[in-house]
Structure 1
Amino acid sequence: MQVVMATSPAKPDQPNEDFVGAVPNAVVLLDGAGLAGTTSTCRHGVAWYTRRLGGALLAQLAADDGRELTAILGQAIAEVADAHRDTCDIGDPSSPSATVTIFRIDDDRADHLALADSVLVLDHAGNAPEVITDGRVDAVGSRYRAAMDATPNGSAEHDRALREYIESTRVHRNRPGGFWVAADDPGVATEALTGSRPVADIRGAVLLSDGASRIVDQFALADWPEVLALIAAEGPGEVIRRVRAAEAGDPQGRRWPRAKAYDDATLAWCTRFAARQAPAGSGLAPS
């Protein structure tokens, strides 16, 4: 499998709270949730959490042992929770959390896992792309975002409305009827959306954090077939460039109301699924 990645922090002087990484048979993308505007009960921070969790996931996926992705995620969450439960109140809803998206090639199958609102797009040859995302975060958030969307980004009113939005939504984190993210409880792994497809049915796959997927789902600058074509022609970095241009052209969120004027943006483009069997130097191009 060939994987091409691109990532960009929301602002150059801020840590990138996304994570993306790959082993020969799998790709992991995380989008950290920092609950901006609240007091965190973890001294390490969101970037630390996503990097530790991403590293734990990659270490397990590298074993290539065919275990269920939910079992791998549950173990990784437990490992990271154990790494800071003695210093941090990891059960508090304001502690760091992350979306999790995994794409794995396992012999002739392509497996996926999606927890929270990052996006996986499967490129089916000759058919419309299949878009996989866990919409429960947005379903909860839509109840509380009207005041936030009605005020311009960067204003005191927006900051206040954002804090109220966060306080209202975070009480639904990892609760029945709410939404599920990776945090301290390994049991949430069983709430992830999972599936498997024959590798032969898939031409490519793209994993995106919601800061990158906003090119489609917030800004409507392209549809998913156009995004796949753009990535194939110019690489995943071009998606981020266009997102940044749109953000810069609407810094107050008047055209596209949103919680963050700028957001961390990350993509991973996966192709050449037959490469594990192909001889070295065969020169295969992405189909």
Structure 2
Amino acid sequence: MPRFGIAEAAGVGLDGRERPSEDVVVVLPSAVIVLDGASTLRTDLPSGGDYARELGAQLAGRLTAAPELDLAQQLAGAIRSVARHNGFTPGESPSSTVSIVRWDSDTVEALVLCDSPVAVFTGDAVEVVADDRLRSLPLGKYRGRLARGLGYGPGHVEALRESGERMARLRNVEGGFWVAEAVPAAAHQAVRASWPAAEVQSVLMATDGVSCGVDDYGVFSWESMLSMAASAGPQAVLDAVREAEKSDPDGVRWPRVKPHDDQALVYVDFAAQAGLGS
């Protein structure tokens, strides 16, 4: 079994208040699941974190019971089960990103649905499995407000509400973005990749509260993030991202939904399993 390093930290809600993390990490003997429940201003539905925990449990059961089945089929089945159990319908359901890495003696495979990327390191190369469809959409004016120095006040919440309405119209439709919600077919829109197991040395799985350190803040490259996770531990990576955010408390330099997002990072060291690591 490979060696694991895991770190998690709660951010704040859309109202700026502290609350439990909505990120979920599930480690199985031959797979890791990372989910990021979507924050929402709606109070008539369970939280994204509640949804992510239930979906993670469904996925864990399916991956354990039938490890040979296709990952997208298993994810579709898990989405369907959660929706039926709770009476969720498209547009009237919490949602979550999903990333899965699964391995056996021959193959390492990854599935990414929405913005929780996976970085796979093989020799001197890194391949990032990322679903950038959400990032590419113009979902509202809140970023412009923040860039003008207007901060995280009531006006920001109203701008987020407008953004959420636009997002709802683009969720799980062609030309929009795909996420785990109440549409099982979304699972088949996931970004996927696989590698011969002998070539994979290590893997990083991150929610966007950590990958922003690469994609937005420029604190890390994926290679330097791996180096820190391997030498100082994943928590050091989370701390570095938080320090960057503290230097921009009003979101002027890096306009973002919240001052601090939830964070989850999983470091999987396959080289240690092969006796090549420390």
Q: TM-score, normalised by structure 1?
A: 0.88
Partner Cα distance (1:91, 1:64) in 2: 27
Q: Which runs of 5+ in 2 are unaligned?
A: none
Secondary structure, counterpart of 2:259 in structure 1: coil
Task: Please tell me whether residue 228 in structure 1 is matched to residue 233 in structure 2.
Answer: no
User: Match of 1:21?
Assistant: 26
Secondary structure, counterpart of 1:220 in structure 2: coil
Partner Cα distance (1:154, 1:146) in 2: 11
Alpha-carbon deviation of 1:254?
1.3
Contact 2:27–2:33, Cα closer than 8 Å, also in 1: yes
Change (3 A) 1:227 1:152: farther
Moved more, 180-189 or 140-149: 140-149
Partner Cα distance (1:32, 1:244) in 2: 20
User: Match of 1:140?
Assistant: 137
In structure 1, what residue type is equivalent to 2:34?
Answer: L
User: Match of 1:281?
Assistant: none
Secondary structure, counterpart of 1:181 in structure 2: coil
How high is the sequence identity, in percent, across the aligned residues?
A: 34
Moved more, 139-148 or 73-82: 139-148
Secondary structure, counterpart of 1:169 in structure 2: helix
Partner Cα distance (2:271, 2:75) in 1: 23
In structure 2, what residue type is equivalent to 1:154?
Answer: Y
Partner Cα distance (2:90, 2:84) in 1: 15
Tell me which of 133, 136, 161 is aligned to 2:159: 161
In structure 2, what residue type is equivalent to 1:259?
Answer: V
Which deviations, in whole Å up to 9, do the C-alpha atoms of 1:94-128 show, x marking residues without a partner?
A: 5310000000102310011010011100112122x
Alpha-carbon deviation of 1:193?
1.1
Partner Cα distance (2:29, 2:66) in 1: 9
Which deviations, in whole Å up to 9, do the C-alpha atoms of 1:15-42 show, x marking residues without a partner?
A: 211101110100000011122x3x2442
Alpha-carbon deviation of 1:64?
5.4
Aligned CA RMSD, in angstroms, stands at 2.0
Alpha-carbon deviation of 1:203?
0.7
User: Match of 1:130?
Assistant: 127
Q: TM-score, normalised by structure 2?
A: 0.91
Tell me which of 75, 84, 93 is aligned to 2:86: 84
Moved more, 202-211 or 117-126: 117-126
Partner Cα distance (1:31, 1:168) in 2: 20
Which deviations, in whole Å up to 9, do the C-alpha atoms of 1:141-161 show, x marking residues without a partner?
A: 467555344354322332222
User: Match of 1:212?
Assistant: 210
Change (3 A) 1:228 1:15: same
Alpha-carbon deviation of 1:13?
3.5
User: Match of 2:63?
Assistant: 61
Alpha-carbon deviation of 1:2?
2.2
Moved >4 Å (runs of 4+): 142-146
Partner Cα distance (2:47, 2:154) in 1: 24
Q: Which runs of 5+ in 1 are unaligned?
A: 279-283
Task: Please tell me whether residue 286 in structure 1 is matched to residue 241 in structure 2.
Answer: no
User: Match of 1:255?
Assistant: 253
Contact 2:129–2:192, Cα closer than 8 Å, also in 1: no
Contact 1:6–1:236, Cα closer than 8 Å, also in 2: yes
Equivalenced residue count is: 272
Moved more, 158-167 or 16-25: 158-167
Alpha-carbon deviation of 1:62?
1.9
User: Match of 1:266?
Assistant: 264
User: Match of 1:121?
Assistant: 119
